[in-house]
């Protein structure tokens, strides 16, 4: 195996793949099952992280050494954000697991079963398995380990109608043997509603010596503070679709929460069940003293005051483009017999899904044409009148409010809703649907309503429909296993967006420098964010996708917009994917800067588009340099967003 540096290993594990979980080493080929009442095999358990609970909804997890393995385990193991809502007993659970004896457990992939932690894993660090298996796949091309572990979690105890997992692999230990192979042991934790305690087993599976090298590096190579923040940012982005995660604004090393002793480098907020909760990550090496924090705050304040150069702004008040777009949308997506047929078929398709299943696969499609779909996106296609929602969920008055505020500052607002994949590929979502049928009647009507209310809106739907016409399977305009677009779709959207920006009357006087940046092709290995939400038995069918990408450079350095950028691109994960995660400097902000010659500052809320407005309101000094705010977000959050559309806090 080509031995990787920490930088390249980190790049492959987080940028190319996703986030984390893990595994570890473990030994012993003992085949006899230990009795359920056996005493603990060893007290030399390895503590990877410590937890400081600071309330019913907040905790700080401290890792002594910032290895990827340790941070991954701290993020995944018994994380309340991930466990929320899983303690309630499913209505259709018959209790078969609760009645079973340990020796009768149906796990043919395990060589042994034990009620106590085996002596073989004493002194070995436990890891979360999912992230490590992704890293292993990226570096060796082997995904057999993940298939075996998925099969453990997929055991249904002859109760296939229960969607929720009966058990999870909560710890993985991997032990390199003298001859080279790695043996694997697991802790399996039954769901709370089964009433069973964790049990342990050895997998009937070993890995080669190449895996031992990857494992050792994963366990021992330490990250610096910047790499750790990248890890946290990427983790939040992948958990966002169903756990509604985001990173809170927080000075790394500062005390959090108030009154505690925690000094985390990152604070993650999650809201999977309608009640927010926070898990923060702390590494002693990244902490600063109170004096250093105060000094940094003063330095940041002085730097912020000196960096931002105010500009004289004049709004482009022309309504030509807006009215042309409005006219083009008239009767462009009428409700008719075909759209009614689509809605009924989609509703029937979703009715068959277990209520807790958030993702599902195309039926009867070839492997290269099989897509994964997201429940919330599908719900958006079945939406009623969007502007008819209650005041906390209706986006229209909030968009109007935002426009009035920015108008008062002479800053242009351009709203860019991103159509969901299910809208662009409706024919693959519901077989028999014409490929050119506009199925999102109420979503398209809401775009028209925003235009009619005087809001400048960039309509991406026609450009993305045109882009998909040029798809070359297995490469598409949206990622097959993910909620986000792929390069062809993103480029089509950015071409349209760049054209719109250059049409503003102030563009000629903006100091644009087209050609000042360079572009290079790259490749991204990305695990789709929808895979984790499939039934356990199906997850191993969808390996990470290899995607084409672009990376933008300013000189020799990857591009990043500064505070003096005349454009602020703000929004949800569509502004951050490929920009601040994956290959970086290749997302909408960088591509727009490359195309227009104008610097672009990016503000991303991974927790959803509605939340980024409050971040903008805290950027008052930065806003002095802005001519244009581009508000880009997935259109699904226009309908029943879990993040409410509250009013702007102007003070």
pLDDT digits (tens, 9 = 90+) for 284-319: 998 877 777 677 667 666 655 557 889 999 999 999
CA distance 336 to 334: 6
Which one, of 570, 577, 556, lies nearest residue 600 by Cα? Answer: 570
Q: Are 555 and 524 in contact (CB under 8 A)?
A: no
pLDDT greater at residue 378 or residue 135:
378
Supply 171's token pair.
């710890």
Residue 33: pLDDT over 90: no
Q: How far apart are CA 77 and CA 96, in angstroms?
A: 26
Instruction: Evaluate if residue 438 carries a pLDDT over 90.
Output: yes
The residues with which 222 forms a beta bridge, in sequence order, are 67
| Cβ–Cβ under 8 Å, residues 80 and 88 | no
- Tell me: the pLDDT tens digits for 152-167? 999 999 999 899 999 9
Please name which of 443, 452, 460 lies closest in space to residue 333, comparing C-alpha atoms: 443
What percentage of the chain has pLDDT greater than the value 90? 69
Q: What is the pLDDT of residues 452-462, one digit of tens each?
A: 999 999 999 99
- Give residue-wise pLDDT tens across range 481-505: 999 999 999 999 999 999 999 999 9
The pLDDT of residue 142? 82
3-state helix, strand, coil in the chain (%, to 5): 40, 20, 45
Q: What is the pLDDT of residues 205-257, one digit of tens each?
A: 999 888 999 999 999 999 999 999 989 988 998 888 878 898 988 888 888 99
Q: What is the pLDDT of residue 304?
A: 54
Backbone angles phi, psi at 604, to 5 degrees: -115, 130
Q: What is the mean pLDDT of residues 352-365?
A: 88
Mapping DSSP to helix (H, G, I), strand (E, B) and coil, where does residue 475 land?
strand
d(CA 37, CA 199): 11
| CA gap 157, 160 in Å, rounded | 8
Q: Which of 62-76, 178-192, 304-318 has the highest mean pLDDT?
A: 62-76
The partner residues of 550 in beta bridges, in order of sequence, read 521
* The length of the chain, given as a count of residues: 651
Q: What is the pLDDT of residues 512-552, one digit of tens each?
A: 999 999 999 999 888 899 998 899 889 888 888 889 999 99
pLDDT by residue (tens digit) across 395-425? 999 999 999 999 999 999 999 999 999 999 9
What pLDDT shows up at residue 303?
A: 58
Strand partners of residue 418: 634
Helices (H) and strands (E) in the chain, counts: 21, 18
One DSSP character per residue, 385-410 reads -GGGS-TTT--HHHHHHHHHHHHHTT
What b-and-e string marks burial along 168-190, b requiring 16 or more CB atoms within 10 Å of the CB?
Answer: bbbbbbbbbeeeeebbbbbbbbb
36 versus 256: the higher-pLDDT residue is: 256
Q: CA angle 649-603-647, nearest 5°?
A: 20
Give me the residue spans of the domains in the chain.
Answer: 6-29+68-85+106-220, 321-637
Res. 64: pLDDT tops 80? yes
What mean pLDDT value characterizes the chain? 88
């Amino acid at each position: 195996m080509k031995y990787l540096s920490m930088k390249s290993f980190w790049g492959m594990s987080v940028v190319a793949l996703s986030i984390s979980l893990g595994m570890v080493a473990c030994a012993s080929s003992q085949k006899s099952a230990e009795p359920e009442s056996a005493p603990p095999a060893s007290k030399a358990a390895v503590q990877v992280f410590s937890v400081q609970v600071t309330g019913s909804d907040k905790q700080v997890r401290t890792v002594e050494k910032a290895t990827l393995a340790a941070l991954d385990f701290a993020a995944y193991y018994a994380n309340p954000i991930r466990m929320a809502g899983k303690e309630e007993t499913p209505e259709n659970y018959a209790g078969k697991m609760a009645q079973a004896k340990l020796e009768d457990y149906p796990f043919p992939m395990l060589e042994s079963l034990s009620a106590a932690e085996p002596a073989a894993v004493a002194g070995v660090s436990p890891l979360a398995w999912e992230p490590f298996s992704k890293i292993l796949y990226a570096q060796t091309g082997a995904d057999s380990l993940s298939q075996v572990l998925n099969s453990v979690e997929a055991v249904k105890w002859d109760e296939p109608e229960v969607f929720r997992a009966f058990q999870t692999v909560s710890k993985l230990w991997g032990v390199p043997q003298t001859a080279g192979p790695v043996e694997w042991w697991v802790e399996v934790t039954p769901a709370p509603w089964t009433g069973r305690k964790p049990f342990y087993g050895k997998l009937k599976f070993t890995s080669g010596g190449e895996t031992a090298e990857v494992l050792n590096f994963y366990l021992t190579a330490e990250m610096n503070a910047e790499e750790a923040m990248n890890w946290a940012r990427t983790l939040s982005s992948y958990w966002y679709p169903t756990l509604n995660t985001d990173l809170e604004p927080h000075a790394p090393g500062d005390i959090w929460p108030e009154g505690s002793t925690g000094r985390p480098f990152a604070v993650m907020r999650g809201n999977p069940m309608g009640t927010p909760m926070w898990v923060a990550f702390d590494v002693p090496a990244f902490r600063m003293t109170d004096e250093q924090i105060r000094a940094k705050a003063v330095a940041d304040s002085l730097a912020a005051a000196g960096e931002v150069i105010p500009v004289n702004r004049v709004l482009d008040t022309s309504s030509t483009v807006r009215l042309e777009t409005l006219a083009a949308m008239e009767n462009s997506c009428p409700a008719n017999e075909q759209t009614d047929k689509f809605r009924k078929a989609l509703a029937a398709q979703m009715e068959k899904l277990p209520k807790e299943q958030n993702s599902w696969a195309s039926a009867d499609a070839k492997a290269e044409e099989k897509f994964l779909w997201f429940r919330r996106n599908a719900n958006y296609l079945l939406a009623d009148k969007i502007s008819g929602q209650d005041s906390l969920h209706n986006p229209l008055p909030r968009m109007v409010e935002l426009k009035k505020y920015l108008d008062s500052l002479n800053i242009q607002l351009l709203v860019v809703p991103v159509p969901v994949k299910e809208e662009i590929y409706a024919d693959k979502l519901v077989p028999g649907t014409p490929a050119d049928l506009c199925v999102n009647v109420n979503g398209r009507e809401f775009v028209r309503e925003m235009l009619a209310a005087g809001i400048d809106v960039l309509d991406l739907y026609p450009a993305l429909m045109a882009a998909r016409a040029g798809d070359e399977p297995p490469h598409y305009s949206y990622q097959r296993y993910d909620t986000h677009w792929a390069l062809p779709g993103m480029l089509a959207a950015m071409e349209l967006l760049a054209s719109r920006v250059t049409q503003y009357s102030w563009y000629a006087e903006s100091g644009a420098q087209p050609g000042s940046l360079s572009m290079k092709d790259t490749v991204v290995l990305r695990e789709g964010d929808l895979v984790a939400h499939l039934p356990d038995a199906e997850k191993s069918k969808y390996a990470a996708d290899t995607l084409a990408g672009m990376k933008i450079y300013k000189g020799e350095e990857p591009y990043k917009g500064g505070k003096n950028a005349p454009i602020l691109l703000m929004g949800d994960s569509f502004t951050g994917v490929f920009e601040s995660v994956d290959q970086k400097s290749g997302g909408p902000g960088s591509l727009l800067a490359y195309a227009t010659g104008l610097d672009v500052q990016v503000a991303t809320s991974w927790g959803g588009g509605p939340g980024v407005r409050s971040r903008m309101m805290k950027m008052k000094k930065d806003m002095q340099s802005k001519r244009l705010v581009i508000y880009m977000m997935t259109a699904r959050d226009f309908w029943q967003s879990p993040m409410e559309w509250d009013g702007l806090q102007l003070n």
